[in-house]
Every structure is written in C-alpha cells, then in structure tokens.
Structure 1
Amino acid sequence: MARTPLTPREDREVFVVPLDIRPEHIDANGHVNNVVYVGWLQDVGMAHWNARFDTETRARWSWVALRHEIDYLRGIGPDAQGVVARTWVGDPAGPRFNRYVRIEDGEGRLCAQGVSEWCLVDVRTLRPQRIPATMLPTFERR
C-alpha cells in the first residue's frame, strides 16, 4: 500500500470511532505499539457493523478478517487526546470487500492508515457468502 493518504469515496459513509489510549498500549519507545493498531482496525470495523445492522442480521452473518495492511506515519503518545478512527468500505467482490481506516490524532493529523480485507460468512456454517445487494446501501453516505 502506498503512503498516499487514504480518502473516502464521495458515496461512502465515513464512520467515526473515538479511540482510547491506555497505559498497556504504550511500548518501550513511548508510543502506541504497532500491534494495538491491528486490534483497532478490527474493532473499528466491527463497531461500524454493529452500529448499522440489527440483531437479526448480525445473528445470520459475520465477518472474518483475511488480511490487514497498515502504514504507520506518526507516533501516538501516552497523553494523546481526541484520537479517532475513520472507516469506510470499498466495493464488494463476491463475499469480500476492503475496509479502509484512517487513525488521526486530536489535531486531525494522520497517524496511521490501513486496509483490511473482510469476508462475509454464514454464522452457522462459517462458509463465505456473497455480500447481498440489500446490505450495500447501509454503507453509503447518509
């Protein structure tokens, strides 16, 4: 992935999640450890899903992360305030789509960005399922 800043498409909803910096997130270099960012990518994607889909839909479908790719651009220190993640999805490809995440500090500076590839699965069988067309409008700009 290039270090060109990720920007959402005009037709996509950008879902914003505040991120808390905890003491256990800070590594020996005095900033948020790289592994924490991987967890944030997964947590932010699930927060978006949980916020936009009802209990019945979530009981039928689930998502499996297939890969994460992250660019670390600016360290986030232990006293950072106002850190947020902004996320949106790309185009579906059968059962898969990419989810994009920008992590910004309280001043709006890009600290990290990532792309995760997710696969929709049937909760009962855990087999991949094509993303239903009825699901897609939920991810569009509101």
Structure 2
Amino acid sequence: MARAPLVPREDREVFVVPLEVRPEHIDANGHVNNVVYVGWLQDAGTAHWNARFDDATRARWSWVALRHEVDYLRGIEPGATGVVARTWVGDPQGPRFNRYVRIEDGQGRLCAQGVSEWCLVDARTLRPHRIAGEMIAPFLATV
C-alpha cells in the first residue's frame, strides 16, 4: 500500500528538475522502469545541491546516499513529455537528512514519490560531518 502523497513543507524551497523519458528507460511492461525512478531521485538531489552551492563548497563537501524508498503510483509511458521531479529537504540529524521527491507527469499527476537519506561527508576523507546551519539555509523557502 502506498503512503499518503508527500507534501512539501512551507518553509522549504521546492526545486524542480525536468526529466527526460528516453527509450532505454522503458521496460517490458511499456512504462518507465523502477530503477530509473531511483536514478531520478538521486539526480534531483544532486541538481538541487549543485544549483545552490559554489564550486569551492562542492569541492569540499559531498553527499552519500544511504537509502532510497520509492512508492510507484502511476506508470509513465514512452514518449511522455513534461515529466518533472519536485524535491525538498527535511531537517538535518547530525550528518544526515532526508530528501523528498515527487515525480509528476506532464499533467501534474503524481506518478511516484520517494524519500532518500543522505549523509554529508568531507570530500577528501569521506568521513561524515555534521550539517551546519549555513548548509540548510539555501534550501529554505524565501518569503
């Protein structure tokens, strides 16, 4: 049974990433394969991070995905256009936080949703590091 639809918190920026449905994404059942959705969750998180932080910050810090959980709600068919991922972050817990993603078709219908747990690491040593407040601020909604 699928969970209730994920709804962004009002205090979080919702970052939108256009997604391309390619022929190789389509499985034997005629819709986007489940593995592709997991990749889209990771791609959405990476795009949000890259859009909000400069090269120096991204060279110092990296993120490691610890787990992905996906609810598949509606298939996306070959040739679909206007597909997007909408993503936002949760609250930091030491070096970790959850990232939430909704994948919607061109009509705005929820096709899949997911939660990924990410861990901030020092890019050189790969050791976990507590997420500082200044690293969350760029993900907050502007009012």
TM over 0.5: same fold?
A: yes
Cα distance in 2 for partners of 1:116, 1:132 equals 19
Cα distance in 1 for partners of 2:80, 2:3 equals 23
Q: Deviations over 1:29-49 (max 9, x none)?
A: 000000000100001100000
Matches within 5 A, 1:62-77: 62-77=62-77
* Residue in 1 that maps onto 2:128: 128
Cα distance in 1 for partners of 2:135, 2:19 equals 27
* Residue in 2 that maps onto 1:98: 98
Cα distance in 2 for partners of 1:57, 1:2 equals 37
Structure 2: runs of 5+ lacking an equivalent: none
* Residue in 1 that maps onto 2:89: 89
Alignment of 1:53 with 2:53, yes or no, is yes
SS in 1 for 2:120: strand
What is the CA distance between 1:134 and its match in structure 2?
A: 1.2
SS in 2 for 1:3: coil
* Residue in 1 that maps onto 2:117: 117
Cα distance in 1 for partners of 2:65, 2:52 equals 18
What is the count of residue pairs matched by the alignment?
Answer: 142
Matches within 5 A, 1:22-33: 22-33=22-33
* Residue in 2 that maps onto 1:20: 20
Structure 1: runs of 5+ lacking an equivalent: none
Alignment of 1:36 with 2:36, yes or no, is yes
Higher deviation after alignment, 60-69 or 127-136:
127-136
TM-score, normalised via structure 1 length: 0.98
Cα distance in 1 for partners of 2:106, 2:99 equals 22
- For 1:38, give the aligned amino acid: V
Cα RMSD, aligned residues only: 1.0
Superposed structure 1 runs of 4+ greater than 4 Å apart: none
Contact 2:26 2:77 in 1 (8 A): yes
* Residue in 1 that maps onto 2:80: 80
- For 2:77, give the aligned amino acid: G
The alpha-carbon distance between structure 1 residues 75 and 15, as it changes in their structure 2 partners (threshold 3 A), is same
What is the CA distance between 1:2 and its match in structure 2?
A: 5.1
Contact 2:83 2:106 in 1 (8 A): yes
